[in-house]
Structures are given as structure tokens and as C-alpha cells.
Amino acid sequence: MILLKAAAAFLGGVLLAGVVAAPAAAGPELDRRALRETLDEVPKGGMYGIYSAVSAGRQQWRGAAGFADPFAGRPMRPGMHHRVGSITKSFTATAVLQLVDRGRLELDAPVERYLPGLLPDARITVRMLLNHTSHLGDYDEALIAKPEDLETMRTRSYTKRELIGLGLGRGSTGVPGQTPGVYSNTNYIVLALLITEVTGQEAEDVITRNVIRRSGLGDTFFPRTPYLPRPHANAYTSFGGYWDPPRDFTVFDMSWASTAGAIVATMPDLNRFYRALLGGKLVSAQALAQMKQTVPVQPGAGIPDTMAYGLGIYAVDLPCGGRVWGHDGGVIGMATVSLTTEDLQRQASTGVNLTWHPGTEDSAAAEGVHLLTALCGTPPAAAKSTVKLPRADAPMPSAGGAAQ
């Protein structure tokens, strides 16, 4: 789902290769040849397959490389349905900010006001849930400790209160409001209960009606079965090399991800969503400004790296100049990145179908080159620097079993 605590799609995350002191391209022109060439490099590094959707102004480009099912020889195709993991958090946060706009919720009100007795610390506010400064434990860490846990999760349905209970059982990672925050999927399950409390409706239904449909997305939804609709890639993981070859987890009950990471979408739909959100079509200007107020957040307790996290979105400064907003997502067998420039002129979304697998560092670097080509409008020259794309994912689990 979600940026699992151990779900890095690639070792160390995607690297954006730096353009040598080069400004962003003047004007939204797509270098289609460069996009094709850089995308083709990704599977050469060990990744099974990748699809990509890029926009520059009114120009659109879609591409795919590698295999949707390498064992059957089925190729990747643009526009396939994909589990987008923690990108779901941007959708959930948008629904919460819409309720703030309507006066139904207050960002700095304690969660205790709306859900008395649910959380162990009455100081935790709605904002702290959204920007991961609540310091609630992450239920992922309780669910996934060894490879066999994935097989248990595959066919089991979880309730939201069950997931929250697992998270609370992990204890706290700090004092509410303290920075850096610590990324926790539990926050976004509590937000689902908040949405239901103030609307009287299931959070997934509210998000579908007020966010997905308002964004005009025809291929984005919360799944109601463990099956992906066609066309789709298969989803593989080796759990850090435990399974050789990697195991197919395409069929999976996604109740464990819920409003923190269960959404299925296509790459073009992700671009449409972030363009609508960041273009001010889904929330007020005041709410969007709140979403863009960032704090440092660690991907997990004890991990020194931080990301500039807002309310359901994060920011990355590009080496070619300018800032992009978006999110990434990782679930069992699928990982996603979606980024949009501050001026809305450039967007890029990519999805891959192999996670937690050693030896894919070259694929991670190649994906970074492709993303930078899309977002900066020029192919990277011989890189003199790199920018590590923030991932809420923590390190890959070891082949020995327990997540690191």
C-alpha cells in the first residue's frame, strides 16, 4: 500500500540524476525520443517492467518497457491498472481538507473532539495525522515481520479499527507535534474514521464521490475484490531475495491498505488528479496553502533521512531548478511515483511491478533519469550530482525474514 515500512521498490529509492548547472527547459516541450530511450533503460537494470505517463502543457506522452508478466513473456503496456499505494494518502488528505473548507473539521482541533477515547494522547490533532507528527506507531510493522506474513495477508480482510489497534500496539515514536515526524500509515486510517464520523458515510465512498469523480478520473477506484481489472501487470516481490524467483502477489486483499494505500489507478489518471489538486480545483486556495506547509518527516523511526512532507503531499527541489509536488507509493509487488511541477507545466508518473528485490539499483537510477528527463525537459548530461527522491518506504527486508 502505502509506503510500507519496508517496501522500497528499489534499494535506496529512486535517484534523480542531476543536470549539470542547467536550468529547466524554457517552454513545455516534450523530448519524446529521450523519454523513450530513458524508459527503455529501466528494465535493463533488473526491474521487470515500467509504465510512464508524462505531460508538458497540453502535450502528452505515454510509454512502457519490459514485462507485465516476465514468465509468460507478456509485455508492459501504457495505461495498465496499477496499485498506487501511498499515493492514496493524497486522495484521503484532499477529502479531509474539503471537510475543513466546509467547516466540518478543524485542522488544529484534537482528534479527541471527534473520536473520543480512540487515541492514547489527547494532544494529537487532525493536522498531526495528516503530516505524520502524531507519532502513532505504524501498523505495517505489526503486519509484516517475515515473508510468510504476506501469504496470510493475501486472503485476510482487516477492519480499520483492527489496523488502528495494531498501530497503537506498536507504541509511540515521540511527543505529538514533535519534529521530525515519523511516517505512519496508522494516521491515514484514523483519518478515515474522522471522515466517517463527520459525514456519516464510509470514507472510501466520500473520497470516490468528492475527489476521484470531481477530478474526472475514469480508471481510479478503491478495489472491492482482491483482483485487478484488465489490463494490468502482475505484481512480484522476492522479500529481499527470500523467494527465488520472485513470487507473484497479483491477487491480494487490499483491506490492509485501506485509505492509506489501497487505490488502483493508471499513470495518466494520477497526472490528472495532481493537476486538479495543485491547480486549486478540489480544495480552496487557503486549504492548498495548508497542504504545502511542510515539516521534516522520517520514513521510519531511527531513519536519519527526512522528506519535506505537507498534508498528504511532499515536495522535492529539482537539480535543474524549481520544485515538484506529489507522492510515491509501495505495496506488495508494485511501486509508483507521481510528481508535478509548481507551475503545473510538467508532470510525470511511473509504475513498476517488482519490489523488495536485490540487484535493482541500476533500474532505480534509470527511473530517476527518466523522471528528470520528463520534469526538466532535457535529458540529463553526465551527472555531477544526484538528488534522492524521498520515499516513505524504509529499507528492504532482509532475505533472512524480519524487516530491517
| Residue numbers annotated as active site | 86
**Contact (CB, 8 A) for 344 and 278:** yes
Please list, in sequence order, all residues whose beta carbon lies within 8 angstroms of the beta carbon of residue 100, skipping any fewer than 6 positions away: 106, 107, 126, 287, 290
How many CB atoms lie under 10 A from the CB of residue 381? Answer: 12
Return the residue matching grid coordinates 515519523: 182
**Contact (CB, 8 A) for 66 and 47:** yes
**Contact (CB, 8 A) for 321 and 312:** no
Distance CA 328, CA 397 (A): 19
Q: State residue 278 phi and psi, 5-degree precision.
A: -75, -15
Closest CA to 324 of 342, 337, 307: 342
Distance CA 241, CA 401 (A): 10
Longest dimension (CA), the chain: 57
Q: What DSSP element (H or E) covers 371?
A: helix 361-376
Strands 247-248 and 307-309: unpaired
